[in-house]
Amino acid sequence: MLATLLATLLAPAFTLWGSPVTGLEIVACVLAVWMVVCNWRVNPLAWPLAMLSSAAYALLFADFKLYGEAALQFVFIAVAVWGWWQWLRGRSSDGAALVVHRLPSRGRWQAVAATLLLWPLIALALQRFTDSDIAWLDALPTAGSLVAQVLLGRKLVENWPAWVAVNIVSVALFAVKGLWLTVILYAVFTVMAVVGWRTWARLAR
């Protein structure tokens, strides 16, 4: 029964610019947009939505041999559990309840350095252990997403510019693979991330 359901979800629902769009991609897109809206509002519902969206995208990306992005979704699910707990029970360094705040300058550089360190490590792992045909392009948004997700979990404003960068690269990645509905989604995500950035910047004041 599960195999039949999966086959149905992965079957083309319609064609967009010459490429098939599956029911699974539609479901994943709707969940992802709902998640970002909840993130804007600092609503903890964002995290269970992130888990569901990530599970859907893991199946979709694996079907398109985007193994870095597929593996990342399972990391996202694990980080979402942590992020959900952080938003509900997390504390800042002074013991107060966690609120939207900013990274110091040093922390921003550390986030960039972490992304640049993870990128080649993930790319080389994809080249060695998978049949990925675009390992380096796949690895860059994977690395950036890991860093951005941790920043989001700690309610740091800098998660939003990180997502802007990740989404721009992801648009190129998914265009190469012909995932046109997801290309549109990530273009929308880029705009939504800019809105989220401005919204959280006001909250941080």
Give the list of residues 6+ apart from residue 199 with CB closer than 8 angstroms, or none: 40
Find the helix or strand (DSSP H, E) in which 13 lies.
strand 12-16
* 32-50 pLDDT tens trace: 999 999 999 999 999 999 9
pLDDT at 9: 64
Give the list of residues 6+ apart from residue 204 with CB closer than 8 angstroms, or none: 100, 101, 102, 157
Q: Which of 6-15, 89-98, 177-186 is predicted least confidently?
A: 6-15
Average pLDDT over residues 125-135: 85
Rounded CA-CA distance 140/112 in Å is 12
Q: Is the pLDDT of residue 98 over 80?
A: yes
Rounded CA-CA distance 28/56 in Å is 6
Average pLDDT over residues 109-125: 95
Give me the percent of the chain exceeding a pLDDT of 70: 93
pLDDT at 20: 74
DSSP per position, 153-191: HTTBTTHHHHHHHHHHHHHHHHHHHT-HHHHHHHHHHHH
pLDDT at 142: 87
* 73-90 pLDDT tens trace: 898 899 899 999 999 988
Per-domain boundaries in the chain: 2-85+104-204
DSSP one-letter code for 96: S
CB 159 within 8 A of CB 148: yes
Q: Which of 47-51, 118-122, 124-128 is predicted least confidently?
A: 124-128
Closest CA to 174 of 121, 137, 148: 137
Q: What is the pTM of this model?
A: 0.83
pLDDT at 72: 75
* 5-35 pLDDT tens trace: 666 666 766 676 777 778 888 888 899 999 9
pLDDT at 116: 97
Counts of helices then strands in the chain (DSSP H, E): 8, 2
pLDDT at 187: 94
* pLDDT level of residue 3 (50, 70, 90 thresholds): low
Average pLDDT over residues 100-125: 94
Rounded CA-CA distance 53/57 in Å is 6
CB 102 within 8 A of CB 162: no
Average pLDDT over residues 165-191: 89
Q: Is the pLDDT of residue 148 over 70?
A: yes
